[in-house]
Structures are given as structure tokens and as C-alpha cells.
Amino acid sequence: MNGKAAMVMTTFPDAETANRILRGLLERRLAACAQTLPVRSSYHWKGALHHENEVLALIKTKRALYPEVEVFLKAAHPYETPEIVLLPIEAAAKAYLAYLVAETK
């Protein structure tokens, strides 16, 4: 499984939006699990500097499912240009990796 597991990182404007979209990923078996955290984001957008409260989502999936995860997130996401970043999982506990494989399509 080394190199086959991944984490997708994205942000949402609020917990309700995050929960709705993450539920869709989980129901489609595109993710084994996801965690959310409140964050404060600072960024440039359309010529202005912004500071916003957001919800960061860490989505665990198989690397091979990333294209489907990205398509789903782009379609469901309220942001014009959402952050969708794939981070490879280089190593993890064998039992956790087995769980990830079992819980995704």
C-alpha cells in the first residue's frame, strides 16, 4: 500500500458545507474518513488580501481515486477556485492502511 494512500486537503466556508460535501464523498466510497478543523486563512484573491475563518478538511483516500475526488469536490464546492491538494501518505500503520483500502471503492 506504500504510495497508494493519500490525503486530500481542502477548505470550506463553514462546517455545514464541509459536512454536506464530505458526506457525499463518504457515501460514494471516495474517502475512508475525513477530519475537519476550524482555521483562519489569509490569502490574496482578485487583487485584495483576505483573512477568513474556514473549515479545513483532511480527506483520506486511495491515490487512484484522486481524479474522482477532485471532480466531485469541484462540482460540489461553493468556491470559484477551491483549494484541492493531494498529499501522498508515504507511510502509515498497516492496520490503518488496510482500513483505508477496505472502506473505499
For position 17, which CATH number holds?
Answer: 3.30.70.120
Which H or E run contains 11?
Answer: strand 5-12
| DSSP result, 42-79 | EEEETTEEEEEEEEEEEEEEEGGGHHHHHHHHHHH-SS
Task: Calculate the dihedral angle through the C-alpha atoms of 95, 4, 1, 87, rounding to the nearest 10 degrees.
Answer: -50
Instruction: Give the range of the structural domain holding residue 56, as residue numbers without chain letter.
Output: 5-103
- What is the per-residue pLDDT for 73? 98
Q: CB of 91 within 8 A of CB of 42?
A: no
Instruction: Indicate the number of domains in the chain.
Output: 1
Q: CB of 26 within 8 A of CB of 36?
A: no
pTM of the model: 0.94
- Which grid cell sits at 22? 464530505
**Residue ranges, the chain, pLDDT below 70:** 1-3
- What is the per-residue pLDDT for 3? 67
